Structure 1
């Protein structure tokens, strides 16, 4: 059995930001609201988000990324040396480069999420970070201080590892790293600045924390979609990157989703994304349970968790469904969990 602490009702971390948070951030950017005023609005919204998650009896609780612009901001917004280029990527997110030597003066988000440990009750505080290899692949600047994406990745691995250790010290018990560049290797894409071996080595260095308290787990989300899987790449990634949990899409019923799950080693957990945060309609429960039956044939059901297939708002203000829809989706995930495991959660 891979994991004594199952965290079976999971979610990626980002939640739909309330209108008052988005308005406060706009006012702060315009100079109409000071930092203390913005933080007070965020504090109130986070406290309400925690109450919302606890009412749903989720296994993990997050701050919804309410203080951050997107899933990368935990590092990009707090580490000196990154520079916004003024351009945007194909997802509409601001583009950044590592233009100077990177330096973190202290914890990046650990102090911000520490309050979760005071608010969560029985649920585990969770934090989500971009992986070091993902950032190295997306922010390397040939004109910058680092000679290669690998050298940049090594510097980022040290920063991410220090942050994970700070999160542990503040009571966080589940950390999820996101590296969506892994899908290029899993599905046969090319053109990546890092080889798969290089990316694995960088992220492995980032998760090599000095001490792991009982119940602490690290998961990695390598993709939000599934296509034709390169079995060799999947076996290498899932087998060689030393994390506890792989967070995988499982809401479309495709062969690629099955192949990804099949590649997860027996001693690792799989958190299966059984509902989509991109469409409002609820997935048919019978269809989901049929898919869970298939999953249980491939992997011990005791080593599986359920989750939405992605964050609800990985970029602030860019949710594709409503807050009411989000609630229904999370209730759906909880319902499936209790159908699979009863109250043994």
Structure 2
């Protein structure tokens, strides 16, 4: 049986380590040595190369590596009308490791689709992708506009009441973006969501309580919020969601079993496919997958992008079999747990490890499900 909605049983989340020459060009742009147009030409070259890399490895869905972005979410959200973002800061923890302090994302006016955000980037990606492959666009989840600041982060002048005006405006803005992409031939969009994953972590749940939100109610509200976006999804487009627990320089920000959000996420949300992180113990067991209804797909993120050590193919097969005790094997797939570089900084992993990890994913999936 064909995998529902996705190009293959194996997939990836989207971002790749930036080549050194691209990082140098970005620095030159930041210091005024080159123009935005000159930087874009360098980005074009790097994207052409990363597309070829993905095709050579054997992937069926192809991204631009998020090579035009500094952060997976801010670069998109700050281009929505009515949204103001502040650049995140790096904080050094007592143990000497670095952690990315969450950015401040504020809604200061009515949210609107002020311009096509990903259109030109998608058009270039599509021009580089070979026939038989599917170009994929990743964008941040709309829940990012609420969770980080809660009610206090959303202008009361613009939105005296959040429901329904705020949620409807955001959904309409996202719908406009999806329609612009669909008109250019885009059929596969992935929304990256940290917030539902954060609501699995008791520390994050307590933080939500302190700002006046009920962490038990939020997942259901977010499911309804996302469904407002899904309702505007163009015909023929696959809409997936990746749940991320943080992915900055090989660190994570949250941990916890999916149980607190599983029913809202899998059963109530009208998403086609889910990318769930399951690369280590911080994600808990597979029991939450019991809520997965027919017609949806879960891509198991069993291969870590945080460290270069290669997983055992036998261990991956064993874990896939464990997951299949709770959700039909035919509704499962395999991927790395996250991107290799959710921010421009990249994870602490060698460039060569990207290829080895992706080949492992593809070979394991082909051995489990066949090469359909």
TM-score normalised by L of structure 2:
0.83
Give the superposition deviation at 1:160: 1.5
Q: Whole-Å Cα distance in 1 between the matches of residues 310 and 363 of structure 2?
A: 12
The Cα offsets for residues 239-274 of structure 1, whole Å up to 9 and x where unpaired, read as 111011111122226782312323322321011102
Q: Whole-Å Cα distance in 1 between the matches of residues 38 and 52 of structure 2?
A: 22
- 1:57-76 equivalence runs, <5 A: 57-76=58-77
State the partner residue of 1:158. 172
3-state SS in 2 of match to 1:98: strand
Contact 1:17 1:316 in 2 (8 A): yes
State the partner residue of 2:160. 147
3-state SS in 2 of match to 1:201: helix
Ranges in structure 2 where 5+ consecutive residues have no aligned partner: 91-98, 246-253
State the partner residue of 1:27. 28
Ranges in structure 1 where 5+ consecutive residues have no aligned partner: none
Contact 1:136 1:153 in 2 (8 A): no
The partner residue of 1:105 within 105, 114, 124 is: 114
Which range moves more in the overlay, 167-176 or 304-313?
167-176
State the partner residue of 2:49. 48
Contact 1:88 1:95 in 2 (8 A): no
Q: Whole-Å Cα distance in 1 between the matches of residues 5 and 242 of structure 2?
A: 20
Describe the shift of the 1:148–1:276 C-alpha distance in structure 2 as closer, same or farther (beyond 3 A).
Answer: farther
Q: How many correspondences in the alignment?
A: 341
Describe the shift of the 1:301–1:78 C-alpha distance in structure 2 as closer, same or farther (beyond 3 A).
Answer: same
Q: Whole-Å Cα distance in 2 between the matches of residues 207 and 106 of structure 1?
A: 20
The partner residue of 1:204 within 227, 237, 242 is: 227
State the partner residue of 1:340. 368
State the partner residue of 1:302. 330
The Cα offsets for residues 133-192 of structure 1, whole Å up to 9 and x where unpaired, read as 122222524566333555544322221122122222222222111221112444552443
Describe the shift of the 1:36–1:85 C-alpha distance in structure 2 as closer, same or farther (beyond 3 A).
Answer: closer
State the partner residue of 1:237. 265
Contact 1:135 1:153 in 2 (8 A): no
The Cα offsets for residues 46-93 of structure 1, whole Å up to 9 and x where unpaired, read as 010000000011120000111111110352242233334466386245
Contact 1:117 1:170 in 2 (8 A): no
Give the superposition deviation at 1:107: 1.3
Q: Whole-Å Cα distance in 2 between the matches of residues 6 and 86 of structure 1?
A: 35
State the partner residue of 2:341. 313
The partner residue of 1:279 within 307, 310, 333 is: 307
The partner residue of 1:127 within 131, 137, 144 is: 137
Q: Whole-Å Cα distance in 2 between the matches of residues 154 and 137 of structure 1?
A: 16
The partner residue of 1:176 within 171, 183, 190 is: 190
Contact 2:198 2:255 in 1 (8 A): no
Describe the shift of the 1:197–1:341 C-alpha distance in structure 2 as closer, same or farther (beyond 3 A).
Answer: closer
Describe the shift of the 1:337–1:253 C-alpha distance in structure 2 as closer, same or farther (beyond 3 A).
Answer: farther
Contact 2:257 2:282 in 1 (8 A): no
Q: Whole-Å Cα distance in 1 between the matches of residues 195 and 140 of structure 2?
A: 11
1:8 and 2:9 equivalent? yes
State the partner residue of 1:136. 146
RMSD: 2.5
Describe the shift of the 1:339–1:144 C-alpha distance in structure 2 as closer, same or farther (beyond 3 A).
Answer: farther
Contact 1:61 1:123 in 2 (8 A): yes
- 1:207-218 equivalence runs, <5 A: 207-209=230-232, 211-213=234-236, 216-218=237-239
TM-score normalised by L of structure 1:
0.89
Describe the shift of the 1:335–1:111 C-alpha distance in structure 2 as closer, same or farther (beyond 3 A).
Answer: same
The partner residue of 2:351 within 308, 318, 323 is: 323
